[in-house]
Amino acid sequence: MSALGRHILAELYGCTPDFLNDIRGVEGIMVNAALEAGAEIREVAFHKFSPQGVSGVVVISESHLAIHTWPELGYAAVDVFTCGDCVDPWISCNYIKERFQAQNMTAREIKRGDFPCPVTHRPAVNL
């Protein structure tokens, strides 16, 4: 049985600070990253912090994209989690890296719901 989903945890370094502090810009990049990968958007929620930073999530039918930015460090933490075989999370990650003009990205993929054996349902035992 294959995994239920793929979860990319990405760290973006050396990003353009002004991009990371612009809530509408960050939201637009994240929404477009989902669309580029062929995801179906359900909801979008973003928040601008004072004095700086943006956090947000794009909920997609296939799961979600999330971001937290630290403009003062030129850094963004990004999660892209997709279920099924139709949406490639790496397309979204690479799109985000390019749009934030990141000098470096480290990322790792985690398989979610990668069951070691078939899941069986057993009746509860009363003791």
pLDDT mean across residues, the chain: 93
- The letter for the amino acid at 105 is M
Q: Check residue 114 and give its pLDDT.
A: 84
Q: Is 68 a known active-site residue?
A: yes
The answer on pLDDT for 6 being more than 70 is yes
Q: Is 121 a known active-site residue?
A: no
What is the tens place of the pLDDT at every residue in 24-81? 999 999 999 999 999 999 999 999 999 999 999 999 999 999 999 999 999 999 999 9
| Residue 72: half-sphere exposure toward Cβ, Cα within 13 Å | 5
Q: Check residue 122 and give its pLDDT.
A: 57
Radius of gyration of the chain from Cα atoms?
17
d(C-alpha 31, C-alpha 40), whole Å: 10
Catalytic-labelled residue, pool 63, 64, 92, 93: 63
- The residue whose two tokens read 């799961």 is 63
Question: Which superfamily is assigned to 5-112 in CATH?
Answer: S-adenosylmethionine decarboxylase (3.60.90.10)
Taking the whole predicted model, whether its pTM rises above 0.75 is answered as yes
The residues spanned by each domain of the chain are 5-112
Q: Is 117 a known active-site residue?
A: no
Catalytic-labelled residue, pool 7, 64, 83, 92: 83
